[in-house]
Amino acid sequence: MHDGTDGLNVSRRSLLRASAGAASLSSVGSARGAGDDSERHVARAIDLDCPDATLEPGMTDCKGTTSGGCTDESPATNDLRSAVTQTLEDRYPDVGTLIDAGYKPYFDTLEGGDDGWSHWLSPDRIGDAAVLDPDRPESVLVDNESWRSIGVMFIATRDGEPVEPPAVYEADESTGRCSPWHAHTGLPGRFAWWYYRQAYERDFAANALDFPCRTPCMLHVWSVDHPESVYAHDAPPAAYRDRQPADGPGFDTDAAPGEDELGWDVLPDDLVPELTPDDFSPSDILDLAPGHS
């Protein structure tokens, strides 16, 4: 892989050979030959290091967090959402501005379905000391039809390492505590974080290829209306994201917002890693990942 700037790359074979997660090969390999029940058998293969890991998308509340007191009507929620919306409108309204600001793309390959949105992650923001700062979102969420930003995903890291996340607001006489952070324990989310670390942080250069048992704590804040909550994990339905397409792509491409789906194939070559998530087969990913329950 490479980050588009220095030519560093690594082959899929090298990643599979070097990964500490390759220790799960024997259990996965035997399960994959089990006929129609193979997925069920794989799901029962448990690695003691990752007892909560699952093949399917899965999340868990982060330690000390709760969404019990969260309401969209809370002044603190309104303030946070307003600040996020202002940041997106002023600085990161579309894909072109995100590319200019150094954000890197990730298009889900394991979640299933066609939700039509993507994550754009900033190594600088993930690597700094700020947490839950609407001026410095670690990730921006983009609608793949309009190519416009529709929210952010805060990632609780400091200097690139996971940390305990702060509350959006503490409990008072009228409301409970609001700290709706979650970590991903399912294979799709864990692979996404592993892929980001390899493709854009170049962890492989330091032989840091371990597949995580869970992601850092994460928190969505949607700038567009959402029928569930400002903090909902899944994107709002497409009807809620129906916006005027971006005025232009903001980079050199034959594709156009509103006419072409945003994806790896329309991005500049120097922004596309040597291996995209679609280049990893399901067996590759299972070989990399310790622990399934």
Look-up: residue for tokens 């793949």? 144
Give the residue from 82, 108, 97, 100 showing the smallest Cα distance to 147.
97
The pTM score is 0.84
Dmax (CA) for the chain in angstroms is 58
Return the amino acid letter for 279.
D
Q: Give me the tens of pLDDT residue by residue for the chain, a chain 293 residues long.
A: 333 334 334 444 444 444 433 323 222 222 223 334 444 334 433 355 788 888 888 999 999 999 999 999 999 999 999 999 999 999 999 999 999 999 999 998 766 545 799 999 999 999 999 999 999 999 999 999 999 999 999 999 999 999 999 999 999 878 899 999 999 999 899 999 999 999 998 887 777 778 899 999 999 999 999 999 999 999 999 999 988 999 999 999 999 999 999 999 999 999 999 899 988 887 788 777 765 54
Q: Are 167 and 194 in contact (CB under 8 A)?
A: no
